[in-house]
Structure 1
């Protein structure tokens, strides 16, 4: 597995001058790790399976897992309207969206980022009261919608978002090194990211709904456990298993993939070009036509589900192939372009499957 990972990722590491990269793998109930380079150039600290990386938008997978868990416990219904949980949005376009719309980016034109003029969640709700969808019936990737889903869920559970995921969800998942707010005793394992333009050490900056949309830090070891939970190789409470299955239902169809709760699903085997298309800037920055799947598709076997995540200094990619009993997490302290991550990981997956036949 070490050689397969090195052969797959060496050229990406060289081309983008990646300081450190760790690959975690779950395959047929066994876990493997490949680590190379440095978590921090200061002190020459090596990267390892226990190094903490910023997950960026891979954090959204935990956001929807928490929402699905709250639903599985009977605390809320993902089909209810946003205005039922945020009464200030009663009678507005955003208030008319369902919580599931927030989990699938089905807003019809929300921007990617919270407007610079908005300084708080309360201010964002005020902004949304006047917002109108620019392209109704489209998928619009946005930190606003998913961020508010996390905000709503944590309100339902009567805690702040960071406390809710750390004390409830991460505990239920058995994650030992996953946090929004990294505790002092773990800071020595928290890597520094390196800015793609300046090459200076950097960590994520605070922002409105940052915890909910892109604020989780985790290790390759914990991300492998997350994948093992999805693959059925880790013990989980019944309500958590129900919730994770819920996140893998097919809910809408774009011309590139099937949209699950944050997960993006392709039939397997999938061409690398198709996956690059679905992870392109067009799908991040521009509204895309979408067709609702009703009733939802149950979790599929012969598929690959994926999610990218980035902050200014970090790049993450996770892929899950239930039918191959395989999950891969790639964590780097450089924001590697999506296309390069996907090409390298796709090649790695092909090598793993060929090697294990």
Structure 2
């Protein structure tokens, strides 16, 4: 039994204990969430959103607006939102689980698992490089001319790192997509099936999907495009499932945050895999990069958190220093990640020291600064009520 699995059992048992009297009331939470998110919705014409906070095992949920403007369907706790790049946190969990089961090592080279890339610069990258965006210039999006898996391999065989670059952080759907493809291959399954069978189902995330089942389509929100306000959903694309393809609701995402906080009983190999995804690998100016998750020192200023979530962190290469040893300490750390598609915007963060986490899901691609600022303020208000 691992250290984490023992801790999970002890902490799960503790959730039955009455919360401190200072815990924020449901009425207070609804008022605070409305104060923070109603202006955001008005400013950016957000049709609907769901916001949740987990604090010491207690869940608070705020929903507002419409999942479907045309049908006038209200957002509820059952509403499914596109997670965008929050999906990547599930991708790396699958990869870390494959390592736990000795199906691969995160130190393996890409070319060991994708033979067409053997001997190429892309093939020389490690799986951990893919998990931490250390690709030295891999593009953010799969190139438009790439239409299928063969096209991906052909393009990557010709790809060259940015000339003269050091070990830079280049946020890339293409590189993280490769990691998901390799991890699923290690399990002998297509990615969507591997993610469901190995991660989502064992974690009891029963309302999270790559492909939304027909019976759940009425709960699947429409996103609304910034440019023309058209109702849209994510379009199929190469490596889309691996990079940005999960849809989920606020309750499942709160459970996922609880799991990352160590506050839910899960199979020991998955607990160990999740712990691996938290380990810091490289350091940027604003945060330490773990496997997709970004690690900030806690407590931290709002300004530092916003700097780490600036659009430039996704669209421009950033200097990054490889740490001599992986940072395993989770005390004094806030973990965070944003996620977007053309019609949706989300954010998730958690602080193990405080046993608190926040999730925001909206069917508008709200600017990163606005969603992070409001979510962080709500997290702070819940903590303030405790103290």
TM-score, normalising length from structure 1? 0.98
Does residue 40 (structure 1) correspond to residue 68 (structure 2)? The answer is yes
Q: How big is the shift at 1:93?
A: 0.8
Cross-structure match for 1:10 = 38
Aligned equivalents of 2:173 and 2:382: distance in 1? 34
Moved more, 269-278 or 221-230: 269-278
Aligned counterpart for 1:307 among listed residues 305, 315, 337: 337
- Equivalences for 1:190-339 in 2 at 5 Å? 190-339=220-369
Cross-structure match for 1:179 = 209
Give SS of 2:201's match: helix
Does residue 84 (structure 1) correspond to residue 112 (structure 2)? The answer is yes
Aligned equivalents of 1:32 and 1:219: distance in 2? 14
Q: How big is the shift at 1:299?
A: 3.8
Does residue 342 (structure 1) correspond to residue 372 (structure 2)? The answer is yes
Give SS of 2:96's match: helix
Matched-pair contact (CA < 8 Å) for 1:50–1:220:
yes
Q: How big is the shift at 1:356?
A: 1.5
Matched-pair contact (CA < 8 Å) for 1:314–1:334:
yes
| CA displacement, residues 136-162 of structure 1 (integer Å, 9 cap, x when unaligned) | 310000001000000011111111111
Cross-structure match for 2:22 = none
- RMSD across aligned positions (CA): 0.9
Q: How big is the shift at 1:203?
A: 0.3
Give SS of 1:64's match: helix
Give SS of 1:172's match: coil
Aligned equivalents of 1:330 and 1:299: distance in 2? 26
Matched-pair contact (CA < 8 Å) for 1:251–1:297:
yes
Q: How big is the shift at 1:167?
A: 2.2
- Equivalences for 1:94-109 in 2 at 5 Å? 94-109=122-137
Q: How big is the shift at 1:210?
A: 0.3
Cross-structure match for 2:94 = 66
| CA displacement, residues 271-293 of structure 1 (integer Å, 9 cap, x when unaligned) | 12212211112111111110011
| CA displacement, residues 2-40 of structure 1 (integer Å, 9 cap, x when unaligned) | 112112212111100111010121100111111011111
Q: How big is the shift at 1:47?
A: 0.5
Aligned equivalents of 1:245 and 1:225: distance in 2? 16
Aligned equivalents of 2:35 and 2:299: distance in 1? 21
Matched-pair contact (CA < 8 Å) for 1:106–1:138:
yes
Q: Which has the larger radius of gyration?
A: 2
Matched-pair contact (CA < 8 Å) for 2:357–2:379:
no
Return 5+ residue gaps in structure 2 as ranges. 1-28
Q: How big is the shift at 1:43?
A: 2.1
How many residues were matched structurally?
Answer: 357
| CA displacement, residues 197-228 of structure 1 (integer Å, 9 cap, x when unaligned) | 21111100011100000000000000001001
Give SS of 1:102's match: helix
- Equivalences for 1:117-156 in 2 at 5 Å? 117-134=145-162, 135-156=165-186
Give SS of 2:135's match: coil
Return 5+ residue gaps in structure 1 as ranges. none
Does residue 49 (structure 1) correspond to residue 66 (structure 2)? The answer is no
Q: How big is the shift at 1:230?
A: 0.9
Matched-pair contact (CA < 8 Å) for 1:245–1:299:
no
Matched-pair contact (CA < 8 Å) for 1:306–1:319:
yes
Matched-pair contact (CA < 8 Å) for 2:142–2:238:
yes
Runs of 4+ in 1 over 2 A off after TM superposition: none
Matched-pair contact (CA < 8 Å) for 2:205–2:255:
yes
| CA displacement, residues 307-348 of structure 1 (integer Å, 9 cap, x when unaligned) | 111111100100111111011110000000001011111111
Matched-pair contact (CA < 8 Å) for 2:79–2:249:
yes
Q: How big is the shift at 1:41?
A: 1.1
Matched-pair contact (CA < 8 Å) for 2:53–2:379:
no
